[in-house]
Homo-oligomer: A and B are copies of this chain.
């Protein structure tokens, strides 16, 4: 018999599938007449309705022609090539799928390999044995005001209207843009109106949109050295030629850039809390930066990813707030202060850039999910956000103090701490330990249950001394103390 039932799915599906296979494998050739539904039903031991439904389906899909009941035939126009392909290479897809020919962008993405960033990006769950994981970017689940968030979420979900369920605006929900502008004016001295704010999927999308719209292959992009790899990889994928601005205790230094830097389209900086060194850019350097941008017509991308947590002095004023020439694109995110999985960030743009960024955002994904935007707007407008910031800042300050104490106690002058005055991470330099020894040290620490991350991959020109990146937002003070004690043991054991 030419039709066999394979036992998968409903009887109708099995009959349909058996006939389809017979047609595709030419056991039922083009123009062949199918048996009557009645006789096939009898032969297969199924009801006639089942066979009728299968025939209808084959008819709807063009495998067969003719009117059901008065004779049904295999369609004449099934190209033979396709049938041959089926027979000759049943597993061609599995074995011989072609290697894709990529665009030049795709080739650059392949070379850049964005998923290869130790400790920060692959984001596979940390191995269970890392009891003390100083991974950067892991949120603190305890501090997050789940109850409030859930209440706001439920309220918005209950009120869901056509507006909330339908397509939103590419720039973001007006209520959230207002709330963000309000907060930034108040807390960060960002000089902006809600119309300049565009809501995006985290700062990653903000940087990607800016790179797409402003950087052509071969264009110069000035980046801090070291820098956040996610940003650097975006600029490399865009085809940018990276020029490194070395970072010291005052932040990025633009005063000794090579002449080609004058052609820069973008300068990417993290002035509030340089990533990963933690330096705060001095006012002098900020003004130099703006001067450079004005002179070269470059845009400054100010990535203010975590300046909400500051432990000494009030938050420093943004570069954007100093700018009088519309040269600064300010980028912020809720990933660090709320939680990364939210995927909400924002751009504050000079007005001439607003329409083109809206358009590019529309093309990229139309808009960011509405519910998250509405809940976040409620969270900010209701004062919960700043309340949460105050609480989280206090918790993080205690963690930081524990970390600094533990480092002093267990490592003493074997460790030099940098960048501890803000954020939720710091750098530990290990004077006398060569940079090349860091990977082994990190591996040894991991075997002892301590997750620390080498700083070298963040550098274009890595330093000679080993440095470790320690995030502390998701650990308790006691975990921090024990983790550092173990880390010190590992370091001591290695001489």
Contact = CB atoms under 8 A, between A and B. Distances in A.
A56 B315 CA distance: 11
B314 A106 contact: no
- How many protomers of this protein does the assembly include? 2
A105 B290 contact: no
Interface in A242-257: none
A340 B297 CA distance: 39
A145 B288 CA distance: 57
A144 to B, nearest CB: 7
A57 interface: yes
Interface stretch (A38-46, A360-368, A397-405, A447-455): A360-368
A110 B287 CA distance: 32
A479 interface: no
A326 B474 CA distance: 43
B366 A369 contact: no
Contact of A365 (B170, B201, B299): B201
A102 interface: yes
B103 A324 contact: no
A353 B103 CA distance: 12
A81 B352 CA distance: 24
A230 B170 CA distance: 13
A6 to B, nearest CB: 14
25 contacts: A9-B186, A60-B313, A62-B282, A93-B324, A93-B325, A100-B353, A102-B213, A103-B215, A103-B238, A109-B360, A123-B169, A141-B161, A144-B160, A146-B157, A146-B158, A153-B153, A162-B474, A165-B341, A168-B341, A201-B368, A201-B369, A204-B365, A208-B364, A342-B371, A343-B369
Interface of A: 9, 53, 56-57, 59-63, 75, 77-79, 81-82, 85-86, 89-90, 92-93, 97-106, 109-110, 112-115, 121, 123-125, 137-139, 141, 144, 146, 149-150, 153-154, 157-158, 160-170, 186, 191, 200-202, 204-205, 208, 212-216, 219, 230, 233-234, 237-238, 265, 282-284, 286-288, 290-291, 294, 297, 299, 312-314, 316-317, 322-327, 335, 339-343, 350-353, 356, 358-360, 362-372, 474
Given A56-B313, A121-B366, A341-B370, 11 more contacts: A86-B324, A93-B324, A93-B326, A93-B350, A105-B212, A123-B168, A146-B157, A153-B157, A167-B341, A202-B366, A372-B372
